Amino acid sequence: MGYVIGLVVVLVVVALVVPILLLAAKIGGQARSINTGLQSAERNTAGLAKLNETIESATAIIAGLIRGRKKLGG
């Protein structure tokens, strides 16, 4: 009788653990996919780090053009 109860307990534990392991594997696959997407987004937006430098350069160029226009009487 004890073996039967032990077997039932083991089967119940296996029945509870297997879905958890399957879900964990699915989550792991999704995490890899998400990580790949985030790395791609990081690569695609890396140029934005230099945006302030570009704005500063454009502002300096515009200021120079305005000074030149004023000197020419425009």
Q: Which residues of the chain have pLDDT under 70?
A: none
**5-38 burial code (b ≥16 CB/10 A, e <16):** eeeeeeeeeeeeeeeeeeeeeeeeeeeeeeeeee
What is the rounded distance in angstroms from the CA atom of residue 10 to the CA atom of residue 60? 75
The secondary structure of residue 73, as a DSSP letter, is T
pLDDT for 59: 98
pLDDT for 73: 87
* Structure-token match 């089967």, residue found: 11
Could you report the per-residue pLDDT of 11-30, keeping only the tens digit for each?
999 999 999 999 999 999 99
Ranges of H-type helices in 1-74? 2-45, 51-71
